Amino acid sequence: MGERFKDKVVVVTGAGQGFGEQFSKDFLAEGAKVAMLDIQVDKVKETAARLDPSGASTLAGEIDVSDPDSVKKAFEKVYQEFGHVQVLVNNAGITRDAMFHKMTLDQWDQAVKVSLYGTFYCSKEVIDDMRDQEYGRIINLQSMALAGNIGQTNYGAAKAGIGGLTKSLAKEVGRKNITVNGIAPGLMNTDIVKTVPEDILKQQIAAIPMQRMGEPEEASAAVLFLASEEAGYISGQTLFINGGLY
């Protein structure tokens, strides 16, 4: 147990499982109060109860990051329960993979609305509070899809958009002591990897200079660093966590 984030309020979207669960766990271990938000409300409540049995340091709530009304309602609860927000982790995202010539408008819209619009909506809910505090940390989840992945024109476009948002917002709010950064994880040992055929997974790992997948804890360590006081002069950056594969 540490105290790097004692007296800090952290909001994590997509917190019910995967990266979001790991981020929440590690922020809690460092003394933060964590608002864990997810569209799967039963799942995120279960996860929060497991990570924080007393319930003293967590708020588990429902959010659809693609819906501005849902986002506003979720953040109103956060402010009522915890007060000011110091850290926002825009983690929620989905894939709707399809080859471009077969991709539907609905598949395009879903990927873009959750990842890109969701990052916009959630950041809008904290930015005035952070400006008033003259302090804040926003960390946006990007992806190696920035480099281009077959079947992910929608997802790649959304994540590239987040990269542009990150750099531009960092320039706007830097004078208010607010940093805005991103992380772009490569192949990670998460549940989604279990659906990849073994021969394909071996090929993917063979292409990574470090010859292994990353672990969720390694992505989380980067998020906590960017949210920390030690990273106070780092802004507008995307940290690639990819074992050297570009």
Instruction: Establish if 2 belongs to a structural domain.
Output: no
Instruction: Establish if 179 belongs to a structural domain.
Output: yes
Instruction: Establish if 121 belongs to a structural domain.
Output: yes
CATH number of domain containing 187 = 3.40.50.720
| Overall number of domains in the chain | 1
Comparing 217 with 94, the larger pLDDT belongs to 217
Q: What is the SS3 string spanning 78-102?
A: HHHHHCCCCEEEECCCCCCCCCHHH
Q: Which helix (H) or strand (E) holds 33?
A: strand 33-38
Assessment of whether the complete model's pTM goes beyond 0.85: yes
Q: How far is 93 from 164, CA to CA, in rounded Å?
A: 17
Residue 183 scores a pLDDT above 80: yes
Instruction: Establish if 246 belongs to a structural domain.
Output: no
Q: What is the dihedral of CA 101, 246, 219, 141, to 10 degrees?
A: -40
Instruction: Establish if 29 belongs to a structural domain.
Output: yes
What's the domain range around 101? 9-240
Choosing from 121, 155, 233, 246, the catalytic residue is 155
Instruction: Establish if 245 belongs to a structural domain.
Output: no
Instruction: Establish if 129 belongs to a structural domain.
Output: yes
- pLDDT tens digits, one per residue of 142-152: 987 767 788 99
Instruction: Establish if 3 belongs to a structural domain.
Output: no
Residue 220: band (very low, low, confident or very high) from pLDDT cuts 50, 70, 90:
very high
Residues 215-244: what's their mean pLDDT? Answer: 98
Please give the pLDDT value at position 1: 67
- Whether 155 is catalytic is yes
Strand-strand pairing, 87-90 and 58-62: unpaired
- CB-CB contact of 153 with 112 (8 Å): no
Residue 139: band (very low, low, confident or very high) from pLDDT cuts 50, 70, 90:
very high
Please give the pLDDT value at position 128: 98
